[in-house]
Amino acid sequence: MNPIKTFKKGGVHPEENKFSADQDFPMPKQIIVPLGQCLGAPAECIVNKGDRVLTGQLIGTAKGFVSANVHSPATGTVAKVDVVMDHSGYYKPAVFIDREEQDEWAPGILVTDELLTDIKLDGKAIIDKVKECGIVGMGGATFPTHVKMMVPEGKKAEYVIINAAECEPYLTCDYRLLLEKTQEFLIGVKIVMKGVGTDKGIIGIETNKMPAIELLDQTIKAHPDLYAGIEVQPLKTKYPQGGEKQIIKAITGREVPSGKLPIETGCVVVNVASTYAIYEAVQKNKPLIERIVTVTGKAIKKPSNFRCRFGVPADLLIEAAGGMPEDITDVINGGPMMGKSVSVTSFPTMKGTSGILLMTLHEAQDRRQTNCIRCGRCAKACPMGLQPFLLHKVAKLNDFDETEKNHIMDCIECGSCEFTCPANIPLLDYIRYGKAKTGAIIKARNQK
């Protein structure tokens, strides 16, 4: 086993709370499939009310370069094409499908549990298939994966890094996937390697997941020819170890330059769930229509990992995990560090729904804010080497020249600064605000 590595700048170690079990989740009679399931333009609906759709059938086509196709997670009839309030609290376009009891799969999709190891597609065809099947980053960012795999002319991918850190407290969906679909995942790694044109794949995983580390190591050693070029790199359990720039630094020692993409370091980083989805897309022609979702919290009766199709309302998953405890005051889409509080629990699950976290008043109550004491803890904790106390101040003053000068766009919004602040200042809220405004100014300037 390789020696344990980590990134050097900043980082924190929140309470882990990794205690979810696993099970499959039955689908409800009606599912709601949002058309905007990626970081980019929403898909354009290509079905109408009354249409019968098959499981895996394309129902929304990618619109623009940064966009992703959307497919039907079930067989049924389109009840309507309307809007639904998603996890963001905004109404977004969606397809409402009245589900039939039995799946009838769209033509060409291979429905089998057999492990398929022969990768027949070439690099370009792999990327085209990833695009066709609507694969996105399933760690939460939902950036279209085919775009990430398109190495720009003049650049070379030396490493494929699989982000298996899952450093966000409470979440265990990727961990369960590694344990249950080990070989399928590893074939997915080989597919990504072939797609970007490299023979080196590194799986970065935190040491609080030793059973997965050992299983991956054993499987690779048992099939040295099949998994040639893949190695497992244990990482120190530290947040945000799973940040794209942090995991590159930890594994390769290379640093992504400010304002640049990971390919500048010769790395392409892909999430665990996305890697497994790529295996299913390339080997079985199966589009991305389901994932594992962690439903958890200290007060939850049955913390669980549910394998569910997209479009299942979150409140049904909560009910299956034992129901909503009376003292819950905060429902979070994602984990406690980077997740967002939701105003409704009926939002439909989709490609980026990694977890649903329920927190009690004691855990989530607002803390009394006091004045900044200039302790510097936020700067020390920042994994990007920024000065959160300064970015908070200039963002609050709407001084966007200063936010840009002080590299606010480099912020990965991990929340380490706010986690360590003894004055309980909402640093991240103001930095997100400043980042959004600064990004809009930069975009408008570049379009002139």
Domain end residue (candidates: 303, 335, 365): 365
Q: Does any domain span residue 289?
A: yes
Residue 77 lies in a domain: no
Residue 199, domain member (yes or no):
yes
Residue 48 lies in a domain: no
CATH of the domain at 6: 3.40.50.11540
Task: State the Cα–Cα distance between residues 111 and 289, nearest whole angstrom.
Answer: 13
**What does the pLDDT look like over 354-395, one tens digit per residue?**
999 999 887 776 678 999 999 999 999 999 999 999 999 999
Which of 323, 343, 365 is the last residue before a domain boundary? 365
Mean pLDDT (whole number) for 69-95:
95
Nearest C-alpha neighbor of 308 from the set 324, 300, 319, 323: 319
Quick one: tokens of 6?
């980590």
413 in the same domain as 344: no
Question: Is 342 in the same domain as 409?
Answer: no
| Boundary residue ending a domain (333, 365, 397) | 365
Q: Are residues 238 and 386 in the same domain?
A: no
Q: What pLDDT sits at residue 366?
A: 67
Tell whether the model's pLDDT for residue 26 goes beyond 90: no
Same domain as 385, residue 320: no
Task: Answer yes or no: do 270 and 409 share one domain.
Answer: no
The answer to the question of residue 157 being in a domain is yes
Please give the tally of structural domains in the chain: 2
Question: How high is the mean pLDDT of the chain?
Answer: 94
pLDDT at 22: 65
CA dist., res. 416 & res. 337, Å (int) = 8
> 289 with 313, same domain?
yes
pTM above threshold 0.85: yes
* Rounded Cα–Cα distance for residues 407 and 19 (Å): 37
Give pLDDT tens digits for 223-275. 999 999 999 999 999 999 999 999 999 999 999 998 899 999 999 999 999 99
Task: Check whether residue 306 and residue 389 sit in a common domain.
Answer: no
Q: Is residue 91 part of a domain?
A: no
pLDDT of residue 326: 85
Range of the domain at 204: 1-24+108-365
Same domain assignment for residues 211 and 153 = yes
Rg for the chain (alpha carbons), in Å? Answer: 21
The mean pLDDT of 187-212, rounded to a whole number, is 97
Same domain, 247 and 349: yes
Residue 63 falls within a domain, yes or no? no
Q: Are residues 155 and 252 in the same domain?
A: yes
pLDDT of residue 67: 96
323 shares its domain with 383: no
Answer whether residue 156 is part of any domain. yes
Please check whether residues 262 and 129 belong to one and the same domain: yes
3-state secondary structure labels for all residues of the chain: CCCCECCCCCCECCCCCCCCEEEECCCCCEEEEECCCCCCECCEECCCCCCEECECCEEEECCCCCECCEECCCCEEEEEEEEEECCCCCEEEEEEEEECCCCCECCCCCCCCCCCCCCCCCHHHHHHHHHHCCCECCCCCCCEHHHHHCCCCCCCCCEEEEECCCCCCCCCHHHHHHHHCHHHHHHHHHHHHHHHCCCCEEEEEEHHHHHHHHHHHHHHHHCCCCCCCEEEEEECCCECCCCHHHHHHHHHCCCCCCCCCHHHHCEEEEEHHHHHHHHHHHHHCCCCCEEEEEEECCCCCCCEEEEEECCCEHHHHHHHCCCCCCCEEEEEECCCCCCEECCCCCCECCCCCCEEEEEEHHHHCCCCCCCCCCCCHHHHHCCCCCCHHHHHHHHHCCCHHHHHHCCHHHCCCCCHHHHHCCCCCCHHHHHHHHHHHHHHHHHHHHCC
At residue 259, the pLDDT reads: 87
* Predicted pLDDT of residue 14: 77
Mean pLDDT of 102-115: 96
Question: Helices 173-180 and 182-196, interaxial angle, to 10°?
Answer: 100
